[in-house]
């Protein structure tokens, strides 16, 4: 059980670090508010769509759903696929613009 | 004369009003058509959606020379999504399966999710555990490249699939590398003590809607995507508890610790004109030593309760081929193995090779043709080697 405690403590510390580091941007996500130093900021929605969706399943067709549906799917996939806010914003903005 | 003039005036005014009404209606119609053309119908503030997947097919199985074949009745797995607002959502999945002539209903998950900030989301309820990636991301039939799960997952598997509790999860960038994380507290597994099924004494049962003791399970996963195109993901997961037995029983303080490593590499490579998809996961389960009763031998026994399983899957799809038929083909192979504790009633060593050719009818619909051969030493069928060869064709669709 010693290993379990080490994993638990490590996880709690990591969670605390993430929580503290995220407090400065606890508002709704928009491109201008998120960290613009990472690579996702320089990529287009189409590129992020091609890179991320295919990691689990075939790339969805933009025309498969309307804007309202993409909003719902966007929130679901952001959580399920561990997308960052900028990634999900760009991907689903692209899908809604191309459907 | 006056009457005639009054009547004519009334006609004129009435006609003018009617003409104005018609003009107004035309303007409103025109504006409405423009609005619909531009925005579609006005969406509601909250949104409810049903998605999901299903599959059906045919399978032929040869078990040590005994053959059987059957059309599979099909599986229907609706996923219910309710988006309350941009941060708050509910998700649930049921699974209806025809098995052995009966309808089985599975309660896969049901949880509420709230996005706290850009880097953190909380989930509560029954959720798919991020123990590795297979069960959380890859098991739906329209995503899984085979008709079966790798050894170690599903019924009698050693990897947990879902649990009831609370989870924090999120993703963030450090430089150009991406990380994702999850940490959770759940009811945890229950130890089968052999009182009901002696041949399964020492196994862990997951998905406990009501906890059998006061010990909770703690777990989590950290995923690391070192390359800027997110093509590679390496993950490490852990899940453990200080107690798995029923409260008040001699097994209450029998702890368990499980860990997993997972790997994913997905990349379109011009040199081979297609998409390579590599997935792998190693699972290890260790349950504290305990003493069980053997009804056949009428004696107590114990064993080193450690199991592990592994799978490696590689697929190739010629997405850059000039021919549309070739573009939709996918070739896939998988190796998996499962080793359960020596000297336990469920001791086994199993290995499995799977080969398949898939044809993608659309991005979410696939025809799967696969052949699988498994060698199982021990297990439920007792000592000795069991060889199972199976051929199957399935049609899966996501919606």
pLDDT digits (tens, 9 = 90+) for B159-218: 999 999 999 999 999 988 999 999 999 999 999 998 888 889 999 998 778 898 999 999
pLDDT at residue B264, as a whole number: 98
Q: Is some CB atom of chain B closer than 8 A to the CB atom of A20?
A: no
- Please name the member of A3, A37, A59 whose beta carbon is closest to the beta carbon of B257: A3
Give the whole-angstrom CA distance, residue A90 versus residue B226: 21
Contacts of A28 in chain B (CB under 8 A): 86
Kindly list the residues from chain A whose CB atom is less than 8 angstroms away from the CB atom of residue B362.
61
Report pLDDT for B395. 96
Inter-chain CB proximity B173 and A28 less than 8 Å? no
Nearest-Cα residue of chain B relative to residue A15: B183
pLDDT at B93: 97
State the nearest Cα–Cα gap between B378 and chain A, in angstroms.
Answer: 30
Residue of A nearest to B116 (CA): A26
> With a CB-CB cutoff of 8 Å, which residues 349-368 of chain B face chain A?
360, 362-364
The sign of the CA dihedral B256, B259, B220, B153 is: negative
Min Cα distance A94 → chain B (Å) is 16
Q: Which of B46, B119, B177, B219 to mutate to test the interface with A (most CBs of A within 10 A)?
A: B119
**Residue B63, Cβ density class (10 Å: 0-12 exposed, 13-18 middle, ≥19 buried):** middle
Tokens of B287: 């349950």
Residue B31: what pLDDT? Answer: 76
Residues 90-119 of B with CB under 8 A from A: 91, 113, 115-119
User: Taking a contact as any Cβ pair under 8 Å apart, which residues of chain A between 22 and 51 contact chain B?
Assistant: 22-23, 25-29, 33-35, 37-40, 51
**Is the Cβ pair B83, A28 closer than 8 Å?**
no
User: Which residue of chain A has the CA closest to B48?
Assistant: A72
Question: Nearest-CA residue of chain A relative to B111?
Answer: A76
Whole-angstrom distance, CA of residue B224 vs CA of residue B219? 17
Q: Does A57 touch chain B (CB under 8 A)?
A: yes
CB contact under 8 A, A38 and B173: yes
Q: How far apart are CA B325 and CA B315, in angstroms?
A: 17
Among candidate residues B365, B263, B267, B274, the one with its CA nearest the CA of residue A52: B267
**A54: which chain B residues are within 8 Å (Cβ-Cβ)?**
266, 275
Q: Report chain B residues whose CB lies below 8 A from the CB of A14.
A: 181, 183, 222
> Could you tell me if B398 lies within 8 Å of chain A, comparing CB atoms?
yes
Asked if B117's CB is within 8 angstroms of A26's CB, the reply is yes
Q: How many CB pairs below 8 Å do chains A and B form together?
A: 148
> Do the beta carbons of residue B119 and residue A22 sit within 8 Å?
yes
Q: Which residues of B touch A27 (CB under 8 A)?
A: 117
Burial letters for B155-191: b for 16+ Cβ neighbours within 10 Å, e otherwise?
Answer: eebbbbbbbbbebbbbbbbeeeebbbbbbbbbbbbbb
Contact status of A81 with chain B (Cβ, < 8 Å) = yes
Q: Name, in order, each residue with C-beta under 8 angstroms of B239's C-beta and a sequence gap of 6 or more.
A: B129, B131, B160, B217, B218, B219, B220, B257, B258, B259
**Residue A75: which of B86, B168, B362 has the nearest Cβ?**
B86
Query: What does each of the 99 residues of chain A score in pLDDT, given as a tens digit?
Result: 545 555 555 555 555 544 544 444 444 444 444 455 678 888 999 999 999 999 999 999 999 999 999 999 999 999 999 999 999 999 999 999 998
DSSP assignment of B111-155, as one string? EEEEEEETTEEEEEEEEE--SSSIIIII-STTTSSSSSPPTTSST
In chain A, residues with a C-beta closer than 8 Å to the C-beta of B43 are 67-68, 71
Give residues 5 to 44 of B whose Cβ lies within 8 Å of A: 40, 43
The interface predicted TM-score of the complex, written ipTM, equals 0.85
What is the pLDDT, as a whole number, of residue B318? Answer: 97
Residues of chain B scoring pLDDT < 50: 1
Judged by CB atoms closer than 8 Å, whether chains meet at A51 and B169 is answered as no
């Amino acid at each position: 059980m010693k290993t379990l405690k080490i994993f638990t403590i490590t996880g709690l510390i990591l969670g605390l670090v993430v929580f503290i580091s995220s407090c400065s941007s606890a508002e709704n996500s928009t491109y201008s508010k998120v960290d613009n130093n990472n690579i996702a900021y320089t990529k287009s929605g189409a590129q992020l769509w091609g890179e991320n969706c295919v990691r689990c399943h075939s790339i969805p067709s933009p025309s498969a759903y309307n804007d309202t549906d993409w909003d719902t799917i966007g929130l679901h996939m952001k959580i399920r696929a561990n997308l960052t806010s900028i990634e999900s914003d760009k991907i689903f903005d692209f899908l809604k613009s191309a459907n | 004369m006056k009457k005639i003039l009054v009547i004519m005036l009334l006609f004129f005014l009435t006609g003018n009003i009617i003409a104005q009404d018609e003009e107004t209606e035309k303007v409103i119609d025109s504006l409405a058509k423009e609005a619909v053309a531009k925005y579609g119908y006005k969406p509601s503030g909250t949104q409810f959606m049903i998605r999901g997947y299903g599959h059906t097919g045919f399978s032929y199985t040869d078990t040590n020379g005994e053959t059987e074949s059957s059309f599979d009745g099909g599986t229907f797995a609706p996923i219910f999504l309710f988006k309350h607002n941009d941060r708050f959502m509910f998700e649930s999945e049921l699974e209806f399966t025809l098995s052995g002539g009966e309808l089985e209903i599975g309660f896969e998950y049901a949880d509420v999710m709230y996005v706290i900030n850009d880097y953190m989301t909380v989930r509560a309820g029954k959720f798919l555990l991020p123990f590795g990636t297979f069960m959380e991301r890859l098991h739906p039939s329209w995503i899984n490249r085979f008709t079966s799960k790798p050894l170690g997952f599903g019924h009698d598997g050693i990897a947990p699939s879902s649990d009831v509790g609370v989870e924090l999860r999120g993703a963030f960038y450090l430089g150009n590398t991406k990380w994702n994380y999850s940490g959770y507290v759940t009811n945890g597994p229950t130890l089968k003590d052999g009182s009901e099924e002696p041949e399964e004494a020492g196994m862990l049962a997951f998905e406990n809607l009501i906890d059998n003791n006061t010990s909770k399970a703690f777990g989590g996963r950290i995923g690391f995507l070192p390359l800027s195109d997110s093509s590679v993901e390496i993950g490490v997961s852990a899940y453990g508890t200080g107690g798995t037995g029923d409260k008040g029983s001699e097994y209450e303080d029998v702890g368990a610790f499980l860990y997993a490593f997972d790997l994913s590499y997905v990349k379109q490579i011009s040199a081979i004109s297609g998409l390579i998809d590599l997935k792998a996961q190693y699972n290890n389960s260790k349950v504290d030593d305990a003493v069980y009763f053997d009804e056949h031998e009428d004696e107590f026994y114990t064993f080193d309760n450690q199991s592990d399983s592994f799978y490696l899957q590689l697929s190739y799809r010629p997405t850059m081929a000039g021919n549309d038929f070739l573009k939709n083909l996918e070739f896939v192979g998988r190796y998996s193995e499962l080793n359960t504790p020596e000297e336990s009633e469920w001791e086994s060593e199993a290995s499995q090779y799977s080969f398949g050719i898939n044809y993608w009818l659309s991005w979410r619909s696939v025809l799967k043709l696969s052949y699988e051969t498994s060698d199982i030493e021990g297990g439920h069928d007792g000592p000795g080697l069991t060889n199972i060869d199976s051929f199957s064709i399935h049609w899966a669709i996501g919606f």
